[in-house]
Structure 1
Amino acid sequence: MALFGSKDKATKSKIVQPTVIRTQNVAREIVSLAKSYNVKPESLDFNILEVHTYTRVNDATKESEWESVQEGNLYELDDETALLNKFFQIKQTYEIEIYSINTEEENPYSNFKIAVGANASKCKVYLSIAAGSSLTYSKRLDQELRILINKKKIRAGILINIFDEMLDDSIAKISAIVRVQDSLVFKESKTILIAEGFEPTETTNDTLILHYEDKEDIDEDTKVDYASRGFIQSVREGEVLIEYIKPKLGLPGRNCRGEFMQPSEPTISNEVTFSIGDSIKEVETQNSVQYISKENGYIAFDDNTYYIKTDMDIGEVSFKTTGNIISGLDSDVNLSVKETDAVKDAIGAGMEVEVTEIDIDGNVGSNAKVTAMKATIGGQTHGSSIVRADKLDINVHKGTAFGKSVKVTRLEHGEVNGTKVNISQAVGGKIRAKEIYIEICASHVDAIASHLIEIKKLQGSENTFTIDPMIKKSKQEGLNENKGIIEKLEIEIKEISKEVEKYTQLVKDGAAAFNDIKKRLVSYKKSGVKMPSSFVKKYKQFTEVQEQLKEKQTTYGVKVDQLKLQKSKTSSFQDDICEARIINRDHWVGYNEIVFQLVKPPVRLVHKPAQGSPDKIFGVVEIEPGQYEIQAMTE
């Protein structure tokens, strides 16, 4: 009698009589028998009568006989040494009884929807239980589940009772749940590993990996920046530039069909034919040969040789010729751009360059960005260009520049931000720095410094020279933070002061009673009389109040000291402005303004030197506590 089967109804006039067949391929026999009776294979089922397992070692010299393996010895076949011997062979034949499914007979497993599948190598076999499947407990549940699963495996050509040591445990877990609950419904689909052979290790073909070309992984959804196409490939010391993966024969395996899986021979098609210079070292590992940079720079390939260079001369940087050049500030790459034609751009419109050092003979175009540790620009910068470098030298500047030490031959309405800025000639523009030195100052210059502004020759008017200690963003943030801390401390001190007053009064009011209780307790102790609990309680309460008062007084003192420290920091900002100077070594001409921006109070002091005034040095003086004015100073 079948344990389960398809619900499809077989045609009554074409019932297949129970037929016993001995075969290695059950699925093929079922299809063949169904065809001979002109019925669908799905209308047939089978019982497993006997399973015969055979093995042999069939080497290249002679063909040996198949030997039968007793069922009790099957798990001994899981020996890895034997199974991974390419001459070892294993097969199973099945004696089965094929019959037509009786659709009128109740099938207790009709709602247990399962399938057996395997991975591509057939080394792992899985049981898939569909969501909604159900089981009801019976005494033979374990045995019937095993028969059910084995029949599925046999149909799929998978050996049974070999490689499947975990099957009994999986069946036992399912059966235990069903036994406790009487029934089980699988709310979600479930996949269980029920057999596992020996997965072969894949053969490795030789590969040449150019790591220096693949440093950036571009997401398929990311918009491609065609300007950044990697004209140079910057590298770092210790970076793996190229790697040759050695060919390696894989390891054999055997799948759950009993088939030996011989790895293929490796393909060798990428052997190294190039040479390397002294700046690259070769390191051989078990699986590969690595070519590693010995210094910073960029990788170059010439005359079939790879090497690292730091200096590069090019005519121009443009979308057409190079694209963006981004090697990094710490790359040690020094770039020299030779284009000097006044009507062309050495750094083209919209281009970005980031190197350690750059020497530009010509112009920097519109919306171009140049970043370096050291930069020299022999031409002029466009009004929309941005240049950043710790040490920066520009001939004619119309754009925006940032640096620590900045020199500009001629400033034409551009903007300069730095620590120390030297301008040979300023014709309009904005300058922000700690110290500003201008050789010749024309008109419409806005110079803001935190410490010093010095003009050698003043030729124009409508200039504003400002001293502002808060010119740096970090200082402004520090002042704002300091103000916040002061406000918080003042509130805390006010609250603690009230607490101190409160506990001081409590101690004062209870002092007389406390001293009386103290005397009585001493007397009781000398007399050996037990002290009343009420006296002891009051004594402890008073001492606790005294301790709390002491704690509040200590906290109050700490907060007051912290407030003094923070206020002294605010005063230090003000001290900076008192040391600052604005100097004009020439006579004053036209209309110009001198401005000092105070910190506390936040007042803007303005002085307009009269034309022809001989006063050269100006600073801020505190004439009265909290009262300041701009005065002419001596050297």
Structure 2
Amino acid sequence: MGFFDKIFKSMKEPDKDTPEKRPVEFSAVSVTTENVPQALKDVARKYGVSVSMLDVRLTHLQTFIKLDKNDPEWRAITEDEWEEFNKPETLLNPDFQVKQSYDIDITQAKPEAWMKDLKLYLATNKERSRIICTIKAGSMILKTDALGKKLEALIENKMLRAGMLIRLFNIDYSKALDEITAKALVHKRYKFPEDVSFDVARCIASRPPIDDRLILHYKERDEQPKESDRIDYSKRGFIHAVEKGDLIIEYVKPQKGQPGRNCHGIFIPVNEPKERYRPDFRVSDKIEVEESDTHILYRAKRGGYIVFKNGFYDIEEQIEVSEVSFKKTGSIDAGVETEVKLRVRGRDALKDAIGVGVEVEATEVNVAGNVGASSIVKAEDVEIGGQTHQTSSIYAERAKVNVLRGLLKATETAHVKRLEGGFVEARKVIVEHVIGGIIKAFEVRVGTIASNAKILAANEIVINDMSGENNKLIINAARINAYRNEIHQLQEETRFLNGEIKKLEAKKAEYMRIRKESELAVATLKQKIVEDSKKGIQPKPAFITKIKQFQQLLENIDGLKEQIRDTKTKLREVEQKLLALQELTLHAKIVNHGKWGDYTTIEFHLLHPKRILEYHPKTGEKKQQVTLKKSDDGKFEIVVKEVDE
């Protein structure tokens, strides 16, 4: 409902508007008025009492209406006649007016016992078109005759004191009163455990007009802060990328509001909507236009980036710049799935085409020159014609890099002309020259390898020429992305199941020990029970209990045996999965078509049981293929043979 104002003060709260005078005893004051709050203030001031210490009793009510506000005469109507006018078409007519006149007796307040500890308040929304009654938690109400009627009269009394029209806009709240009355009847003295609220009157709330708006969604997306709420000043909206189906622009048409009328009977006007942003631009056939009574929506029919020129919106996919840097463009975040193809022309060997610390993200990125420090490139396809800094990062599906000194991760293929101490990971990696660095892939092919390189693969490492030393070639499926998580999970599960089996076996051994120690005693007890039964003697309860405990022990042992069997079965299943993955290692090979350099190390990593088999080729030997073989007795050995050209 929005914001609510409390419009009634506690009976104990002093009225600040009333000057302090010595209270004067007085009998009932009869008043005819259209303004009950003012009448109360006048009497309070006259007798030097607080308004909260006065009570009001309504003796007569008259409702008056005017269908034309310029009509000097008011027409008196009955409660039944009011129903003819209590309709939206009448109440929302600004010329219609309604008021009430009240004959009231004002007396000194004397709270009755049933309501002495009752904290009942009325509240209203900002427009005062809705009145809500709230009984506060902790309030106490006593059982009394006609409690529902008394509560209804109390609510009407508070509406009078607030200057609200009564019996015109009331809604049926008898159900709420019935629930309260029932609780008072049951408990006789009922304390409210929580606030109880219900509507008592409702007229017509206004509906504000909607001014027209033009929302450039394609810009707002780029300006919204990330989850960290930190502003990235490198991203200055050089381009605004969209995907197919994205909402680019939205025009909200101006919409008329609806006037209202509040529970004072006062008409609530609303302004006309403002129209300032009606679209005067045109769009290309790459943008779909959807129009309704309230909106015009402009959606992308394809991916790309937004171009606005000479009052015309279009979507393009090719963008060409000389460099990407803080100074010229800021970071370019077009998104991998937007079909944006970025080409960076700069190829100066002494200058970065992608500058320090910027981020570039598009469907395709083609850089003629160098990639600077701490920069990040993300795309489906990446091609770098220069060199990458050792702190740069490239993420792609497919990538081609001239000189890699930083990080490159591709989900499919990575082709590097020269690896200089960098890191490259993909399903398939092809490197023409390796001058140090790390390679991880399912399959690796190297032209020439110099020194201090580390290559990890799951299936194959092929080297055409080895010109250096101190290189490490490893077959280990557990280090390759495609299998790493699955293998790690299976190995962890193996460790857990082995641990569970040990615990269960230990528990079973303890139960078996107890069984062995108890068997003779239990047999004696059973014999004793049989003998007593023959003599007509009732078996001792302690004997029966001991035998039942022994039977339970036997059941526990059987249960543990079943648990151990199930756990071992599960362990065998996990081990079979590991052994299936280990077949990768048994079918893997390392091939060197050239000569082996000094200090070359070859490793084959077994998954189950975990074990490393190592081989050090002799310097100078050439054209060799190294594989792993499993013999009939289950032992593993490294096999070296000459490569067939």
Aligned to 1:548: none
One-letter identity of the residue aligned with 2:640: Q
- Identity fraction in percent: 31
How far did 1:417 drift?
A: 1.1
Aligned to 1:114: 120
Corresponding residue to 1:186 among 189, 192, 206: 192
1:477 to 1:152, Cα distance in 2 relative to 1, 3 A: closer
Q: Is the 8 A contact 2:23 2:47 kept in 1?
A: no
How far did 1:428 drift?
A: 1.1
Matched, 1:375 2:382: yes
One-letter identity of the residue aligned with 2:160: I
Corresponding residue to 1:422 among 421, 430, 442: 430
Q: Is the 8 A contact 2:593 2:622 kept in 1?
A: no
Matched, 1:396 2:396: no
Aligned to 1:57: 67
Deviations 1:427-480 (A, max 9, x none): 111112222222222211222222222222322222223333444244344445
Aligned to 2:642: 633
Unaligned runs of 5+ in 2: 1-9, 509-560
Identify the range of structure 1 (279-288 vs 148-157) with the bigger mean alpha-carbon deviation: 148-157
Count of residues paired in the alignment: 571
Q: How does 1:584-603 map to 2 (within 5 A)?
A: 584-599=592-607, 602-603=610-611
Identify the range of structure 1 (30-39 vs 379-388) with the bigger mean alpha-carbon deviation: 30-39
Deviations 1:40-63 (A, max 9, x none): 54454432121101223227xx73
For residues 322 and 331 of structure 1, the distance between their equivalents in structure 2, rounded to whole angstroms, comes to 19
Identify the range of structure 1 (566-575 vs 623-632) with the bigger mean alpha-carbon deviation: 566-575
Aligned to 2:339: 332
Corresponding residue to 2:257 among 234, 250, 253: 250
One-letter identity of the residue aligned with 2:353: A
Q: Is the 8 A contact 2:431 2:445 kept in 1?
A: yes
Q: How does 1:128-147 map to 2 (within 5 A)?
A: 128-147=134-153
Matched, 1:29 2:36: no
Identify the range of structure 1 (214-223 vs 150-159) with the bigger mean alpha-carbon deviation: 214-223
Aligned to 1:197: 203
How far did 1:206 drift?
A: 0.9
1:473 to 1:54, Cα distance in 2 relative to 1, 3 A: same
Unaligned runs of 5+ in 1: 499-551
Q: How does 1:77-116 map to 2 (within 5 A)?
A: 77-99=85-107, 101=108, 109-116=115-122
Matched, 1:274 2:281: yes
Deviations 1:147-198 (A, max 9, x none): 3322221221211111113244444433333233333333444433111112
One-letter identity of the residue aligned with 1:596: F
How far did 1:260 drift?
A: 2.5
One-letter identity of the residue aligned with 1:373: E
Q: Is the 8 A contact 2:478 2:488 kept in 1?
A: no
Aligned to 1:405: 413
For residues 466 and 213 of structure 2, the distance between their equivalents in structure 1, rounded to whole angstroms, comes to 69
Matched, 1:68 2:79: no
Corresponding residue to 1:226 among 227, 233, 242: 233
Deviations 1:89-129 (A, max 9, x none): 32111112334x277x9776443333322111111112233
Identify the range of structure 1 (150-159 vs 227-236) with the bigger mean alpha-carbon deviation: 227-236
Aligned to 2:537: none
Q: How does 1:224-373 map to 2 (within 5 A)?
A: 224-373=231-380
One-letter identity of the residue aligned with 1:416: V
Corresponding residue to 2:459 among 429, 451, 472: 451
Aligned to 1:441: 449
Aligned to 1:127: 133
One-letter identity of the residue aligned with 1:414: G
How far did 1:401 drift?
A: 1.1
How far did 1:229 drift?
A: 4.2
Q: How does 1:564-603 map to 2 (within 5 A)?
A: 570-599=578-607, 602-603=610-611
Aligned to 1:506: none
How far did 1:36 drift?
A: 5.2
1:182 to 1:310, Cα distance in 2 relative to 1, 3 A: same
Deviations 1:553-594 (A, max 9, x none): 9xx99x98x998876655544543343332222334444333
Identify the range of structure 1 (283-292 vs 298-307) with the bigger mean alpha-carbon deviation: 298-307
Deviations 1:594-627 (A, max 9, x none): 3333445644333333333244333334566424
One-letter identity of the residue aligned with 1:628: E
1:36 to 1:426, Cα distance in 2 relative to 1, 3 A: same
1:630 to 1:251, Cα distance in 2 relative to 1, 3 A: same
1:585 to 1:205, Cα distance in 2 relative to 1, 3 A: same
For residues 116 and 261 of structure 1, the distance between their equivalents in structure 2, rounded to whole angstroms, comes to 21
Q: State the TM-score, normalizing by the size of structure 1.
A: 0.79
For residues 127 and 283 of structure 2, the distance between their equivalents in structure 1, rounded to whole angstroms, comes to 42
One-letter identity of the residue aligned with 2:455: A
One-letter identity of the residue aligned with 1:262: P
Matched, 1:609 2:617: yes
Q: Is the 8 A contact 2:626 2:638 kept in 1?
A: no
Identify the range of structure 1 (193-202 vs 570-579) with the bigger mean alpha-carbon deviation: 570-579
Identify the range of structure 1 (608-617 vs 115-124) with the bigger mean alpha-carbon deviation: 608-617
